[in-house]
Structure 1
């Protein structure tokens, strides 16, 4: 059995998108500008391909239970209550949908995810920092 926050590769994009409310990249950026926590659940390789989103909190999608446990001193600092606004982004809704749905199931009340993921964020002209990738000189 896969983790509930594993990518929903067996779901259509429409079904994965429906796991939690979807917002456009522009709406996501507005939410972040207004104080929402941007949570990036892409792998290192995914961020290297598309670029890092400045200000995003990088979270391992398989560590949602510990990273978002408000009773734990180890939870991610920007999330202070169940009504903290959270925007989840991944490479696609197949990655962000399960994470957003899991957060909502844990009682977080203001969670959305980005339609089209990080590629759509970048295509919308929103800020992205390129990540230098070590190249094998051989």
Structure 2
């Protein structure tokens, strides 16, 4: 049976943890090596600002950049360690949940998405880069 975007997001949220903006900020403070990935398309990335130190890897490219069996030129070296702490964000959280679930399926052991995405981060009063 075909799934809708909302159904896929719900499934992802059942399988990976979501963290509040405050918990994400604390995790980043406690572990400066935490990789924060914004999975929005480049054209949309930053519409509500970007979390400082985050990197943009679109949802569509994320599995390619994280695939250790592809040639090095396709991969992102920051995604080579499956035990690295990774937080996924997007504008509102739906794509972030999908991205986190995708990485979990690829063997990442410490991955979560930021609930409400960068919008929630900004609404919590945390800094964003425009």
| TM-superposition CA deviations, 1:61-101 (whole Å, max 9, x none) | 01122111234423223223111110000122321111111
How far, CA to CA, are the matches of 2:129 and 2:111 in structure 1? Answer: 24
- Correspondence for 1:50: 48
Question: Considering only aligned residues, what root-mean-square deviation do their CA atoms show, in Å?
Answer: 2.4
Query: What's the TM-score once normalised by structure 1's chain length?
Result: 0.77
- Correspondence for 2:36: 38
Further displaced range: 88-97 or 72-81? 72-81
Residue 128 of structure 1: SS of its match in structure 2? coil
Change in Cα spacing, 1:82 to 1:48, as seen in structure 2 (3 Å) is closer
- Correspondence for 1:98: 98
Following TM superposition, the consecutive aligned residue runs of length 4 or more in structure 1 with deviations greater than 4 angstroms are: 12-16
Change in Cα spacing, 1:80 to 1:31, as seen in structure 2 (3 Å) is farther
How many residues are paired up? 125
Q: Contact between 2:8 and 2:98, CA under 8 Å: does it hold in 1? A: no
How far, CA to CA, are the matches of 1:52 and 1:43 in structure 2? Answer: 13
Change in Cα spacing, 1:9 to 1:81, as seen in structure 2 (3 Å) is same
Further displaced range: 9-18 or 119-128? 9-18
1:121 shift after superposition: 0.7
**Gapped regions of structure 2 (runs ≥ 5):** none
- Correspondence for 1:21: 17
**Gapped regions of structure 1 (runs ≥ 5):** 3-7, 131-138
- Correspondence for 2:115: 115
